[in-house]
Structure 1
């Protein structure tokens, strides 16, 4: 049979395509110079970067491989992203990127970056690389994100333990403090006054329990420290898991701006206004309906939001939120009764209930059942004064 030049040409193309498919399916074999590093990035200037970041680096100078494996990726364009975010159905995924390009972003954001070169054999490096490559495939890369228990930081230790099993031992003996999850969050959000206020408003009493030592690792700094103290079995001996620590980028000091309109300053100003109007009402023997309706609508809306975060989402950290004690959801309905010059007689008993709830809140605060944001202090005082005045002025 005579094969034409065109047929021969198509046959070569067909063989090349088949060969390429087999090459894509086969895992690349790294050389002996290949290494795995844990990358830890410092906090940034925005709230969402306040806690830092963790990732893996796979480096093989012989093959020209220098990749970042990042478990902290999400897609804004995913279907119903904001709805799922509000409900707590957060889908994150493992992405890959060129290491140099990754560094440029952190250099631009003025954030430090450190590497921990892991003390691994060529076989162990290959095994972790193959795991990450497999995990980065479209069908495998997604996972259900949890801020405290399953994030870019906790994934680092999880991957090492999954691949290397009992060879690696992580010790938490370096953690000597007794902090709650809220304390740990506060360590990183001190300069973000409004962000910290929002976090304290949205998250419940469940984050005020003392965090287990292993729970600290949702923060990249603590994963860094955990790897510093970790060991790996080499034959009959245990050696440090980290062979070398390298500082890649240094943070340049910048002048911090003084924030005038903080939550405390704004709430203090509003609280003083409530107390002043209440004082004038007392003198003039009349009630400011506009103040009462506005106050009850405001606290009612916040109360409904708190309850929705508690009961209508899968966010684990928003459970048992005692902010509902001062932001009482039924206030949203009661606000309309306060439009009347003479509200119904039962409303005095409702105000007594609100005072009792404020007292319970203060007790819970003192006992650290839930730690509230200190900016709420003047508002609690102002609310108590207003409720006492309303009881006296509306009492029949």
Structure 2
């Protein structure tokens, strides 16, 4: 009760006086790493800073992962890549409650810093927490609650901080790193693979690996300051098992795309036998792929996302398909140019495979049955145009 009263007095004092208090010799600053959860926005874990001082009664968490669904134009800003995140400050007990409730482990890594360096870091947090400073432009790969930990250490201590990457088996691309935390055959990972352009297929630097909290935690174990380990000691605060995700194959994209492939194959066989075309099947395939392509072009050229430009998924999700769809549904006899268009679409899909083989962009393997579905219809429509 006494500690909570002191903490309340501290928070009131911090609001009243913008200058941060001077920590005592018994103070410590640490990085908290929290386990991944079941929801997509918890799938990669979380990082935050903790400042403790038993003499002053301080035990607060500075959390750069705070966002508000009620912000004006929240969803529009999300689509445009203009997500605003904020630094929040709350008591450690309140911060920990959520993870206790969800049974997610929390680990703490205490930094080996001098008193002067601890006060320097606290002053930085307090300056950042001012209303005019606490908001920042969020980037899921380059500037998030976890990557910012490495950025802050570098900004505060400069070249004295060295991130040793020798612990890495290899330096991964951003796409490979994301796939380590999500099942490739899941709708969430399929959507991410679809939206990500070729930029995420470059190899991340050692520090850039820290955009994932688990990597940030391991990196702190292999970071030095002035040639000495930055990590003083670490401990487990909440000791729960890692959450495991059970996938049910009939609910996965691979199952549904394979089902679509089989259905399309059967329909195409009967179309060939009766020398007709199933206009509503073609309309659906062309319209959906065209609309996806238009959305990908929007993400490429009309947003501030750093991960969505140069997206060659538009080679199969071709925007013009959305227009051709209406021609196919209203015309029994295909226009003279239709066969050339279908040849062109097959050619674009072939180009996509070349880019895949050359690792210019890595596509979701879940796409394979969908690509075969499109190829079957393109090939049949070429033949039908000559009937």
Q: TM-score, normalised by structure 2?
A: 0.92
The reply on whether 1:152 has 2:145 as its aligned counterpart is yes
Distance 2:26 2:166 in 1: 33
Residue 263 of structure 1: CA displacement?
0.4
SS in 2 for 1:345: coil
Uncovered stretches (5+) of structure 2, i.e. residues with no partner: 1-12
Contact 2:14/2:20 (CA < 8 Å) preserved in 1?
no
**Which residue does 2:375 correspond to in 1?**
384
Contact 1:47/1:192 (CA < 8 Å) preserved in 2?
no
Residues 130-169 of structure 1: matches in 2 within 5 Å?
Answer: 130-169=123-162
Residue 214 of structure 1: CA displacement?
2.6
Residue 250 of structure 1: CA displacement?
1.6
From 226, 229, 236, give the equivalent of 2:219. 226
CA RMSD of aligned residues (A): 1.8
Between stretches 248-257 and 258-267, larger displacement belongs to 248-257
Contact 2:36/2:243 (CA < 8 Å) preserved in 1?
no
**Which residue does 2:264 correspond to in 1?**
274
Offset from partner CA, 1:336-367 (integer Å, 9 cap, x none)? 11121112111111111111111111222222
Contact 2:35/2:242 (CA < 8 Å) preserved in 1?
no
Between stretches 361-370 and 138-147, larger displacement belongs to 361-370
SS in 2 for 1:341: coil
Distance 1:255 1:54, change over 3 A: closer
**Which residue does 2:349 correspond to in 1?**
358
Distance 1:191 1:385 in 2: 25
Residue 296 of structure 1: CA displacement?
0.8
Residues 203-242 of structure 1: matches in 2 within 5 Å?
Answer: 203-233=196-226, 238-242=227-231
Contact 2:38/2:245 (CA < 8 Å) preserved in 1?
no
Uncovered stretches (5+) of structure 1, i.e. residues with no partner: 1-19
From 101, 105, 110, give the equivalent of 1:108. 101
Offset from partner CA, 1:181-210 (integer Å, 9 cap, x none)? 110010011277110000011111111122
Distance 1:280 1:296, change over 3 A: same
**Which residue does 2:277 correspond to in 1?**
287
Residue 254 of structure 1: CA displacement?
6.1
SS in 1 for 2:94: helix
Offset from partner CA, 1:224-271 (integer Å, 9 cap, x none)? 1221111223xxxx3211110111112236675341310000111011
Residues 1-396 of structure 1: matches in 2 within 5 Å?
Answer: 24-190=17-183, 193-233=186-226, 238-252=227-241, 256-259=245-248, 260-338=250-328, 339-395=330-386
Distance 1:180 1:258 in 2: 25
Contact 2:105/2:240 (CA < 8 Å) preserved in 1?
yes
Distance 1:352 1:308 in 2: 26
Distance 1:166 1:212 in 2: 16
Q: How many residues were matched structurally?
A: 373
SS in 1 for 2:47: strand
Distance 1:168 1:370, change over 3 A: closer
Residue 169 of structure 1: CA displacement?
2.6
**Which residue does 1:15 correspond to in 2?**
none
SS in 2 for 1:316: coil
SS in 2 for 1:107: helix
Contact 2:106/2:236 (CA < 8 Å) preserved in 1?
yes
Distance 1:60 1:111 in 2: 25
SS in 2 for 1:352: helix
Distance 1:21 1:355, change over 3 A: closer
Runs of 4+ in 1 over 4 A off after TM superposition: 20-23, 253-256
Contact 2:147/2:208 (CA < 8 Å) preserved in 1?
no
SS in 1 for 2:360: coil
**Structure whose alpha-carbon radius of gyration is higher:** 1
Distance 1:25 1:47 in 2: 37
Between stretches 203-212 and 347-356, larger displacement belongs to 203-212
Offset from partner CA, 1:98-136 (integer Å, 9 cap, x none)? 111111101222211110011111111111111101111
